Structure 1
């Protein structure tokens, strides 16, 4: 299964994107501020670099639930896809949901559950799950 995150707004205090699953639009994403590749990483306040990363589902000690985890992200650890409504709800992870107002997501818990289900189904079929992040 291939997830694709296309970032569409990067010039604000947040980064807004659209998430596709196997080429079909799924939901919106929200991340911390995107910084140019050579810009200094700000811990907890920087969007992850573009690239392609494997995705697994593991139990999050912080959230006390099973959540998607991106592996091998350079200079980052513990990058998850989880619920949240504004950039203040993430310290570098990817939030998912519907976007009706700039910088605000709704129905985030619903979209996390839908995405988790699709990942679990793909893994049960023996498929690898990857996310490609494009600027």
Structure 2
């Protein structure tokens, strides 16, 4: 069996850290795509708070699978140690996520805006790449 080559690479650089959320910039192949809001990044050893902790920095494969919660196909990050069901989806604040990545075209303190539009554009790019047989990864730093 031949390993799938990962031909689309996303990079999420976390830039803003508050007591409520983490905001970063998502790029595809080095080109800015959108903003991302996540839960709080906790200090090493601080422990995970369920539904209120950002996933660990690292590189993860991204696939599109059916979400029972959202009842549709959605991007899923795999292999996130200590986390399950990490999706990329729309939403505006940390109240809209339980570890997932929320996308938006604008950002303010603890907020990303125009999320549904940003998600639609990103989803189409990911789906096109995956449907073509290409792999997708995301590196979070």
TM range (shorter): over 0.9
Structure 1, unmatched stretches of 5+, are none
- Does residue 77 (structure 1) correspond to residue 84 (structure 2)? The answer is yes
Secondary structure at 1:12 match in 2? coil
Structure 2, unmatched stretches of 5+, are 1-7
**Structure number with larger C-alpha Rg:** 2
Secondary structure at 1:80 match in 2? strand
Which residue of 34, 43, 56 maps to 2:50? 43
TM-score by length of 1: 0.94
Alignment match, 1:120: 127
**4+ runs of 1 displaced by more than 6 Å?**
none
Secondary structure at 1:19 match in 2? strand
Which residue of 102, 114, 118 maps to 1:95? 102
Q: Tell me if the contact between 2:106 and 2:114 (Cα under 8 Å) persists in the aligned partners.
A: no
User: What is the alpha-carbon root mean square deviation over aligned residues?
Assistant: 1.1
Secondary structure at 1:2 match in 2? strand
> Size of the alignment, in residue pairs?
134
Q: Tell me if the contact between 1:37 and 1:49 (Cα under 8 Å) persists in the aligned partners.
A: no
Which residue of 124, 129, 135 maps to 2:136? 129
TM-score by length of 2: 0.90
